[in-house]
Structure 1
Amino acid sequence: MMFTSQIEHRFGIHASILVGDIFISLSFFSVYFIIKEPLALALIFGGLHGASVGVVFALIVKLLLQKMPNHGGLATGIMSAGPTIGTILYIGVAFAVINPSNKKPDLKVDNKVYFSDKNLISRVPTYFLVVGAITAVATLSGAALMYIGSCKNLYKDKTQAATDADEPVHNQIAGYSGAYNMLSTTDRKGAVPLNISGARFYGSHGQDKSLKADLCTTGPSLSGIPITEEMQRKNLSLEYDERKNCEIVDLSPREALKTARFWLVWLAFVTSNHTFYIHLDLYKEYGEQAISDDSMLITTGIISNVSTIFICPLVGIASDKIGIRNTSMILNAASCLFMSLMVITIHTCPWMYMVLVVIENIGVAPHTMIFSIIAASEFGKIHCASNMGFIRTGNIPLVLLEPFIVDALIRAIGWDWVFLTGSLSSAIATIAIIALDFF
């Protein structure tokens, strides 16, 4: 993802998304042939799938934020429901293809429980073929819809609408498509004129251009409070976030890396990602310590994912209303609390543990979506794909080392303390997000 912006500028955003979708499908098909070779599986499937998903997700988020600047959170939330629907589908496919008889895991190794049935294990490669076929159909459908949408000349429509309404179209801004596309007709109509000398604008390919402007957009600030004419009439002072919102500035990855805000966002992403991994990857194995019914735990996972379909758009709406920082802070704090309660209830009330799995999923599932919006809010939309890639570099040591570290921790300190590290990580992420207000 670190080089996503360069790929986009070289080949175009739509072509980059299409090629990325094709590689995602191929990555699933490849597993059928390499599943017995751990190194090949890690390099081919892990590398191909991870890189293509990173490019596709980042570019789709950027496209949505550019086309819907005033409702970017809602748009991203709706988009994030797509992978969740896919996850639900894949869980059902896995159960139908691999374990249709609902066999119980019967092989206990250390603190983990596995399946030993050879027939069940032999059906795993077939599962990836089925998933690859489903993914291919979905990507081809998406490519067709993307092509249909790209045939419409949105720029011409917006300009014509402004002309019909007798609204001035600023020629200077119109010359820079990257900046002009950020201003809808509604934005221009309600904008508050402020004298900003030397505001920086970027063209469609991210070149830094100096332009004096007398216009300040009125999109929601990072704190969720729009700058309106009423605020000026009441002589309300603009807080730091509001003043910064008036400066149409996009930071390149090199510029962003030099700021304290970037490293706070990076820290929040890494720590909350640990919570994300602990919960989504290990809740089932942790639950098996007290709950022997595999179908109940799978059903809990399905319910969790179903709830995410509705939660992601709601989280997006919240980010549009109260700001992405506040939204992230609330979700991380809630995640800290509920993961601690999971550790308590698994020993005292197992059915409540399954309820808390669903509730905790609400806090951790929008993780990637939230930090994609944060990247655009903190460092601008032009380079948000690459900036998000640099933020996600924290994933590299986690992906490579965390499974081994977690296994070692489980043996050394036990399941309970491992899950409490997830709670602690959410607390650290909350503090990091709060600290953004001071930089």
Structure 2
Amino acid sequence: MKARPFVAVSGCFLTYLGLGVIHLFGNINPYITSYLRKRVDNNTTYEQTAWLIYTTESVGSLFFCGVWLADRIGHRSSILIGTVIFSFGTAATYWTIQHSLEATIATLGVVVNVGFDCCYGFPLATAMMWFPNNKGLMAGIVSAGMALTPVLMNSLHTFFVNPNNLQTDADGYFYDPGILDRVPTLFLIIGGIQGGILLIGVLLYQEPPSEINEGKEVERSSASAQRESDCEDKTCILAFQEDSTNQKVEETQPSFSRKVGVVPKEALRMKEFYILLIMCVGSLHSSLFVNNFYKTYGQTFINDDTFLAGTGSASGVVHAVLRVVMGLVLDKISFKLTSLILTGLKTVLLFTLVATSYGGKVMFVIWICGIFAAFPVEFVCIPAAIAEVFGKKHTAMIYGMIYFVAGTSIIIWPPMFQVIIPYFGWFGTFCLIGSISFIGFLATMFFPEKHHTQPTKLTVCNEEKEKVFYGTVVLRK
């Protein structure tokens, strides 16, 4: 029984490790675009294949629908269904990529992410329920699974597709027949490996036994507190305690608001929801751009495909480690300070990323790893903040609502890139993306340090004794 929580969290971690295909696009995007350009349509460009990654993110942002499904058929059943759909969509890209970009988007961008939606939303919340006192750490560990996917797979994929470390032509595309012949088969490999990881994850996945009865336990706690209050005199003095050392505390109650949680409808009326939404938009848009284009940009001045794949792996390590570290940090310091540091770092590095073409390989690796180090904002900090502000009960659904808006809004970028990159170059593009990140930084500054769902310390007194309660107190005359 003592090992049960760790086994369950391992299942959550492996589920995210299997779902991390989106973090592979930065490495395999040149192979995909080159194949489509040479074998399918000579007019295909990187700006056009950006539709693939941004469609992936937009459909994946619908994972709150998977949360809704899981609440009705069970979490494990939802993950199992998602695993089948996810693996099928990835493997089916073997055929669709040989047909057209649109068909590739249909399988790799849409079908795969329907499976993603069935799996993604609740493992993070489930892990935090298993360890409620370490929700930041759990968010970091579980979400690190997706960050580790490129660490394990980038070098494998590059070795399979480009074993001789051949370079792109002057226009930035691969034309070697041996490389292009292997691209469709790559998706059979990805589908098999990622599907196997997901299957192991669903076998280990378990829900906390207290989750089903949580609502009843809260009701019993509330009823008990109500009965205890009935035993007191009808006249009560309620006072906020600024200095607990000046009061005698004989008994405490847990915060009812934290246990019950804020329902999604109520969250829409809270300013914290919209601040977190702006933060997620600013962070996700910039993160997704770098995740998709770091190798494409690097190829403009680094003629070493293996090195660029290694850069993706190294940044994945940094990303995964920082997710766990930020989880630990969030349990010690405020969400606001942590997010300000990360978004500020990302903004500065984005505005100066163009300088890496003068600094060479070393500077390029440092800047890309630095930007990836700031990715935990949308994947760790914001979910942990949601659990803190709105309660853990509806974390997955509220995070899904926020991520849905942020994820669907990114669909504006593919047509914009077809104008921005050719006419303004990489410098103009980096400045625009950096500005989006800066908006997220400004929103973070307005996030309140305290919010009304935090426990309020109240004193209930009569002639004989005084008690301190945390949470909602019903006053009666």
Whether TM exceeds 0.5 here: the answer is yes
Question: Residue type matched to 2:190 in 1?
Answer: V
Find 2:80's aligned residue among 18, 29, 41.
18
Q: Give 4+ residue runs of structure 1 displaced > 6 Å after superposition.
A: none
Question: Residue type matched to 1:16 in 2?
Answer: S
Report the CA distance between 1:382 and its aligned residue: 1.9
CA contact (8 A) 2:140 2:327 kept: yes
Which residue is 1:98 aligned to?
Answer: 161
1:126 aligns with 2:185: yes
Find the aligned partners of 2:330 and 2:262 in 1 and give their Cα distance: 21
Listed as ranges, the matches of 1:194-273 within 5 Å are 213=225, 232-233=244-245, 248-273=259-284
Find the aligned partners of 2:382 and 2:336 in 1 and give their Cα distance: 10
Find the aligned partners of 2:435 and 2:410 in 1 and give their Cα distance: 19
Which residue is 2:400 aligned to?
Answer: 389
Higher RCO (CA 8 Å, separation ≥ 6 residues) = 2
CA contact (8 A) 1:17 1:60 kept: no
Which residue is 2:127 aligned to?
Answer: 64
Find 1:41's aligned residue among 104, 112, 119.
104
TM-score under structure 2 normalisation? 0.70
Report the CA distance between 1:95 and its aligned residue: 0.5
Find the aligned partners of 1:231 and 1:31 in 2 and give their Cα distance: 63
Q: Do the aligned partners of residues 14 and 294 (structure 1) sit closer, same or farther apart at CA in structure 2, a change above 3 Å counting?
A: same
Which residue is 1:367 aligned to?
Answer: 378
1:286 aligns with 2:323: no
Question: Residue type matched to 1:304 in 2?
Answer: S
Q: Do the aligned partners of residues 38 and 353 (structure 1) sit closer, same or farther apart at CA in structure 2, a change above 3 Å counting?
A: closer
Which residue is 1:177 aligned to?
Answer: 214
Q: Do the aligned partners of residues 211 and 29 (structure 1) sit closer, same or farther apart at CA in structure 2, a change above 3 Å counting?
A: farther
Report the CA distance between 1:354 and its aligned residue: 2.1
Report the CA distance between 1:130 and its aligned residue: 0.6
Find 1:378's aligned residue among 385, 389, 401.
389
Find the aligned partners of 1:301 and 1:231 in 2 and give their Cα distance: 51
1:419 aligns with 2:440: no
The DSSP-based 3-state class of the residue aligned with 1:437 is coil
Aligned-residue identity in percent: 25
Question: Residue type matched to 1:129 in 2?
Answer: L
Find the aligned partners of 1:47 and 1:210 in 2 and give their Cα distance: 45
Find the aligned partners of 1:154 and 1:33 in 2 and give their Cα distance: 44
Report the CA distance between 1:50 and its aligned residue: 2.0
1:299 aligns with 2:306: no
Find the aligned partners of 2:327 and 2:158 in 1 and give their Cα distance: 31
Report the CA distance between 1:74 and its aligned residue: 0.8
Q: For residues 243-266 of structure 1, what are the alpha-carbon distances to aligned partners after superposition, in whole Å with 9 as ceiling and x for unaligned? A: 999654523333222333222211
Gap runs ≥5 in structure 1: 156-173, 181-200, 204-208, 216-228, 237-242
Find the aligned partners of 2:313 and 2:376 in 1 and give their Cα distance: 13
CA contact (8 A) 1:376 1:384 kept: yes
Larger Rg: 2
Report the CA distance between 1:90 and its aligned residue: 2.3
Q: Do the aligned partners of residues 33 and 179 (structure 1) sit closer, same or farther apart at CA in structure 2, a change above 3 Å counting?
A: farther
Counting matched residue pairs gives 369
Find the aligned partners of 2:309 and 2:130 in 1 and give their Cα distance: 38
Which residue is 2:201 aligned to?
Answer: 142
Find the aligned partners of 1:351 and 1:412 in 2 and give their Cα distance: 28
Find the aligned partners of 1:202 and 1:46 in 2 and give their Cα distance: 44
Find 1:30's aligned residue among 92, 105, 109.
92
Find the aligned partners of 1:280 and 1:369 in 2 and give their Cα distance: 17
CA contact (8 A) 1:107 1:115 kept: no
Find the aligned partners of 2:344 and 2:444 in 1 and give their Cα distance: 11
Find the aligned partners of 1:119 and 1:41 in 2 and give their Cα distance: 21
Which residue is 2:51 aligned to?
Answer: none
Find the aligned partners of 1:409 and 1:22 in 2 and give their Cα distance: 38
Find the aligned partners of 2:101 and 2:351 in 1 and give their Cα distance: 34
Listed as ranges, the matches of 1:400-415 within 5 Å are 400-415=411-426
Find 2:333's aligned residue among 322, 329, 335.
322
CA contact (8 A) 1:319 1:326 kept: no
Which residue is 1:75 aligned to?
Answer: 138
Which residue is 1:224 aligned to?
Answer: none
Which residue is 1:117 aligned to?
Answer: 176
Which residue is 1:3 aligned to?
Answer: 65
Report the CA distance between 1:350 and its aligned residue: 4.9
TM-score under structure 1 normalisation? 0.75
The DSSP-based 3-state class of the residue aligned with 1:2 is helix
Report the CA distance between 1:107 and its aligned residue: 4.7
CA contact (8 A) 2:150 2:312 kept: no
